[in-house]
Structure 1
Amino acid sequence: MASLANPPVADPAAHPEQQYLDLMRMIWETGSERIDRTGIGTRSVCGAMLRYDLADGAMPLITTKRVYWKTATRELLWFLTGETNIRPLVLQGVKIWNEWPHARYVRESGDAISLEDFVARIAADEVFAAQWGDLGPVYGKQWVNWPTYRYRPDGLYEQGEGINQVAQVVESLRSNPGSRRHIIEGWNVAELDRMALPPCHKTYQFHVADNRLNCLLYQRSCDVALGLPFNLWSAALLTRMLAQQTGLMPGELVWMGGDVHLYLNHAELITEQLTRQPQGNPRLEITRHPETIFDYRIEDFVVHDYAPLPPLSAPVAV
């Protein structure tokens, strides 16, 4: 991978989205061309950082193409349930995880069913969904039910009570805001081989200063064109929810990427998006204060001043 000095610091008066566009341009023009796991090929750099101030409802919601923020929000709420089967998402019309179980089904069953028909069967057949719709112990499982094991008198191990990392962070932010251990971790080495996709946005660390809640997200692998707009929104939304639950003000989202890349087959999307200028300043209103971090509903979130340019699509690499 090419090494990266972060893109030039943007003019403070520039639109916050400009740093995202600068990162995209820099990768596309200077990134190291590589053959990746998917076989599609990428242009990649090693290490990047973006910073967004979340004060006054501001959100890093990309405007140079439409980002379906409700889809990203439904995914985050699904993570917080600890669920790992795609069926609850499918029933809400959320498609972002469908390709992985479909590919597994075709590979293991030999049935060359179309993705559309597979998803329809997941929705209609609960038994089929239980067998073929599960992604393994991905994000939500690790976030709210990290497995533990205890040693038995007979010398064997048995599974103990899972650890709810999210609940622990809420409690630690309330009781010990100065701690340096406000962390939600998804990279469970012992279970990576059972996951449909190992966590990309893997480590969230929260930091309190001057009654403001900051979040640093480290993402080991980042598809800048398709994935990063969702990742930025979700991390900022989680920070806003945690701030509300702990009586803090939203602070800054700091995003850090490891292998930061653009897929070669996204050229048309990238070229078009880099001709566009950011539009407006999206703001998020949370209309209700739920009892716990696990009780939010999609209806609790309203976005103001979001008038994005038209959608841009490209194939997802599986």
Structure 2
Amino acid sequence: MTDQALPTYDDILAAAVRIEGEAVRTPLVTSPALDAKLNARVFLKPECLQRTGSFKFRGAFNAVSQIPADRRANGVVACSSGNHAQGVAAAAALHGLPATIVMPSDAPAIKRERTEGYGATVVSYDRSSQDRDALTEAIAAEKGATLVHPYDNRDVIAGQGTIGLEIVEDLRARGLTPDVVLVCCGGGGLTAGVALAIKTLVPSAAIYPVEPEGFDDQARSFAAGERLRNTRTAGSVCDALLTPMPGVLSFALNKPRIARGLVVSDAEALAAVGYAARELKLVLEPGGAVALAAALSGKVDLSGKIVAIVLSGGNVDPAILAGAVAA
């Protein structure tokens, strides 16, 4: 799983060709009210509008499409709290492959239902007592299936990097380049792909991964210069971002490219979900809103800058969305 070479910018370019016509090229969305609030020119990348409702489809499709013909009958296996699950399940269905997804028992019901709706078999596990990676690897070995890790996979990272490529291309079409990029961060695969693309094209851009409070393994690892593990495995409303520690590949890519890690509270994430729904007319899940939350709560100075914010997913439990909008 982690004995792969690091992806390159050329891998991102190849992924862009591979996913074209299957993944949505999400637009850059602007809001005069948000610009005024942050005193910046803000461009939102709404991956909540992506196929399956999150950015994960990009990396999943890129990885699944490259499984050799002689291995396809054995299918794919992945572990995920729900967004990578749906991405892999949908990509596998498009390629006619069986898929088995290992999901935490406390994953939002909507994510499990949609994963099964794409034809995947879901295997549940307990976040607090079971090792999801060990369970996933055991299933893959038993079935002879290809394991598509959610963030420690070069093809997945390259697929996610197409977001960074699109941000730069679409800003350049407006005669602009990004000063700051805020990215929602769990295991670091999205950040790694985005950082690789953007720092290749715009070396001066500052990349900030954003995590939930109590699950800031990336921020602590960047500060320490080594991969550190979270002490908890559950306990945040940002279910999409509760990974145990940075990935080997993602950390290696991110370490030299990241400005620093930012952290937001559950309350700040939920406030961003509510703001997005009320003011931007965009539906986000808490984990998909943490980058916006960092901007809204002033975690980094954005004044006078050109800012890109990745809104990573919108697969939110209806009750959580309703509560956030009403708050």
Q: Indicate the structure with greater strand content.
A: 1
Structure scoring higher RCO (CA < 8 A, sep ≥ 6) equals 1
| Structure with the largest fraction of helix | 2
TM-score, reference length from structure 1:
0.29
Q: Which has the larger radius of gyration?
A: 1
